Amino acid sequence: MSLKDRRLAELRSRIPEIPAAAAHARQREGSLLVDVREDEETAAGSPAGALRLPRGFLELRIEDKAPDTARPILLICAGGTRSLFAAEDLKRLGYQDVGSVEGGFSAWKAAGLPVEVPPALDASQRERYRRHLTMPEVGERGQHRLLQSRVALIGAGGLGSPVAMYLAAAGVGRLTLIDDDRVERSNLQRQILHAESRLGQRKVESGRTALLDLNPTIEVVAQDARIEAANVLDLLGGHDVVVDGSDNLPTRYLVNDACLRLGVPVVYGAIFRFEGQVSVFGGGPAAQRPCYRCLFPEPPPAEYAPSCAEAGVLGVLPGVIGTIMAAETVKLLLGLGQPLAGRLLLYDGLRGEFNEIAVPVDPDCASCSGRAGPELRDLAAVCGA
């Protein structure tokens, strides 16, 4: 008997080998099935619902995917050999209930068990998104999720610029830019989506040019329109996340109420001079996610609102706040981490400080309390003299 045969025999004496049909039954009962073959092997097919984690990355990434060492794990490879060695590695890490699928993927297919063909990135996409693919929290599956995502971005100005640039770079498949303004020279101090060569263009067209130059593989929809009660549901419907980078209060209230009807989360941001704030509203159970009206039930009187004229803003401030808004959007799309729901993040640029305040759900909120929400209507402009 060769050294390899003796080694396999020794492993089989310690590692349970589970027939394919029994492994499928255990998977349905809650066991984690892990396909340890290489990406080029799983590209042709993998057991439906399996976690695809090549053996070379197994020890590095398994804790992120299976933090509970008591959960039963079944490993599958092409023919049942590599999975035995992988099972030994997991036992060494402290996993208590580990088995190998007998006969591997060949036996799985022969038994007629469900198989799925994972979507594959082409060579260009693999090169472009390589830093995402190496992250266990994102990986190929997460990148595909981004590529299939749809985000509506209200405002192609100061906040909208960094948000749009980073979402395009991340590979969000469809970005809808909504704005009814033109590019002016005074925008260029902070609105990095635009350029001197595009002065006078509609902002959505200028933004579309910049985004497709950055990432020509995504779709950018230019909506040259002002959001109003008559069009808000049509403009925002069909998106996974709405990013509100608008600069006026009536739009924020209208967007909040519309997105509650649509069941879409809103990533909110605001800036003024040296200060900014970010939060996430709606899009989840009311008991967990407040809406914009939970924080600001009604618009303030005009005399207390900042002037709608150029009040002034530090040019780099939209970059700070907009980048955080982009990060919150990606987290929502991928289902990662803790979104800023129920929390308002405050930034003071002069002091270089971040602070956070809690935003509880208002049980009497006119929009999200479970009662009939307010009628979608255009509020009068809220603007100081």
Residues carrying an active site annotation: 308
Q: Which is it for strands 17-18 and 51-52: parallel, antiparallel or unpaired?
A: unpaired
For the chain, the residue count is 385
256/296 Cα distance (integer angstroms):
11
Q: Contact, 318 vs 243, CB < 8 A?
A: no
247/300 Cα distance (integer angstroms):
15
